[in-house]
Structure 1
Amino acid sequence: MKRVPKIVWSLLACVICIVVTAAACLILADSGASSDKYMEVIRVIETTFYQPKDTSSLEDASASAMVASLGDPASYYLPASEYEEYKLTLTNQYVGIGVTTQYNENYGYLTVLSVTPGSPADQAHVKVGNMIASVDSIDVSTYTPEQFDELLRSYDAKETEAEKYFTLHLLNTQGGKADAKMKCELIYAEPVVYYILDSDANKANSSSSVGYLRIRNFDDSAAASVKTAVAALQDSGATSLIIDVRDNTSGKPAEMADALDYFLPKGDLFLLRDRDGKETTYSSGSSYLNMPMVVLVNENTTCAAEVFACIMQQAGVTIVGRRTPGSAQSQVIVELSDGSAVRLSKFEYLTPDKKSMTDLGGVTPDIASYQIEDSDLDVQLEAAKDALH
């Protein structure tokens, strides 16, 4: 056999390199063009804008805009500074003092609506109805609840332990004053709220009590909390149940399925379908809660909660409130290398007959009810009571 000259091998290697490089360029052409455009805009801003700009803020803004361009409100970008806090919310935890607040227009202050037992606020003797005039020397009389929470978290971000403490200057409606010193801690927020409704019907017939169960989300431990709450309501004499999923915008399919399994008899509950058409079916077992139920929804009942209401309605449970949006998907979190993350809708929820919330146009209530602005009366809750009786 003739020996092949080295020059031939060299030429052959060059040809292979050219072919591989060309193929790679073709494969990456689309993404490369996008990357080049992105870097070009960054360079133009860095060299032309009249003020210097931090590159990381530009990257965050561009990432946020890219996800927002999908047109899906449930998909969004989380900067590294927000992602750690977001991960806590998925486990029903947050950094704070354990109060919920609302602006009181009559007095012009934030008013404490609830205090979590055992929280820093509870230990410092903050009471429901207290009004918050200031935090240390910072006047918070014009703050929203969100601005107030952000201010408190800014103390938690300080370096020394002593700097993390602050003093709330409190007022009450009788003109009394009090100071409460504390610092933020990791608080567990129960995903459910429950109690026996003190209605006229309940008073007239003590053997027929209505239990109220608000499910704030379907995140970690929600289903277990639902079961515990319903058992407690039954022990307190509840013979019927109002399940409130208004403003419930977060949840995991498995938690929602576990809750549905508790309420409904044996059968398929819902399916998840991904972009490739792969489907996963969730089903319920034979045991179920045998008591009259009504579900409350509104225009902010989304994602897992919207599917929950849809499946309950298909099982014959009366739905009261406002029509839901009709865009239920399940999301995943993709962590990025710099500590930020992208939350993206990955699965579409389907009913057992394979209809999506978009196909159905959302959940149409059996009894439509609208809240009255600037009214303390919960009209929808009253309509739910009437539906039970």
Structure 2
Amino acid sequence: MSNQEFYRIRRLPPYLFAEVNQMKAAARARGEDIIDLGMGNPDLPTPQHIVDKMKETVDKHTTHGYSVSRGIPGLRRAHAAYYKRRFGVDIDPETENVVTLGSKEGLANLASAITTPGDVILVPNPSFPIHPYGFMIAGAAVRHLPMGPGRDFLTELKYAVQHSVPTPTAVILCYPGNPTAEVVDLAFYEEVVDFCKAHGIWILSDLAYCEIYFDNNPPPSILQVPGAKDIAIEFTSMSKTYSMAGWRVGFGAGNKDLVSALTRVKSYLDYGAFTPIQVAAVAALNGPQDCIDLHRETYKKRRDVLVEGLAAAGWDIPSPKASMFAWAPIPEDFREMGSMAFSKLLLEHAKVAVAPGIGFGEYGEGFVRIGLVENEQRIRQAIRNIKKLMANRDEIIASWNAEQNKA
């Protein structure tokens, strides 16, 4: 029997990054030096005081048993204190937040908790894959909100609600955006909250990149909007803020009913992260925060090197205001081939891996996502390689066209 017969697996499309990942692995197996700017995997080390707390705690045998699915009390209190100092928002650590195994797990399990088969969920497109597919796995009907140049989110939201039957259950937000790096202000959230309240729609906000910003305007939280907790839950993560991606610590905070639903589902599925990891996360949130400033400055320098260098190479891309990604329109001469083929060409001819925009949804076509996840020296090497590709574009495109004609 084929697993394609399983209903939930059947609803998932082929993983569109797989082909590029296979090419990347094959190139490395041949000994090629691939500069990987594709996956958003932080290369900066976890701050030492966090690692030290983990080591200290793991030596205590009493921490090796089952932990707490919803998160140890000290971690929930530390997260509530973070919201108070960063956003001025009061969070009840007993009823309004829950620790998750990264924000991705939280989003997926909340989808399972609140979805009735056939529910309509509104998801921006392009978007991080867990946003639509977490709900598709749960049995929802996902309606995509087209995002991109010349499109306004609120206009798309209102149109989708007007033309959806049944009325949508929830809408996903993600700012700073992944993959687009788009940012919004508090006035935007106010409009979304007012509209969703009027139509009885839950709001699920993904705020994983809120500490990686490059100007003097820290991204706001939707929970800063008065009354937002009536309908909204927000997911944050330790992964990017503290370079703790592999530690798998995140949070859901906000509406008590949504937090309770997520907590109840999680209680059947996991025992929480390893207790020493949770204790180390407390040390991260309550300890010195200068590491965040250092990470932010590092990503900013990388952004500037990338944007300025690619411009000099003949590829103009917008400078992201936040996140660890640049959302780059494909150079005009290569645009016709699409983001998957262009990503393959970059890998083959420039030894640079990026994420094809089509992997984030159909409205991601025409773009690639470039991660700021290599040091400046490696980014400069990537730029030099891309510059050579751009200089030989006519020959490369002619060869690609010839191959397409053969196929």
Q: TM-score, normalised by structure 2?
A: 0.24
> Based on CA coordinates, which of the two structures has the bigger radius of gyration?
1
Higher relative contact order (CA 8 A, sep 6+): 2
Higher helix share: 2
For normalisation by structure 1, the TM-score amounts to: 0.25
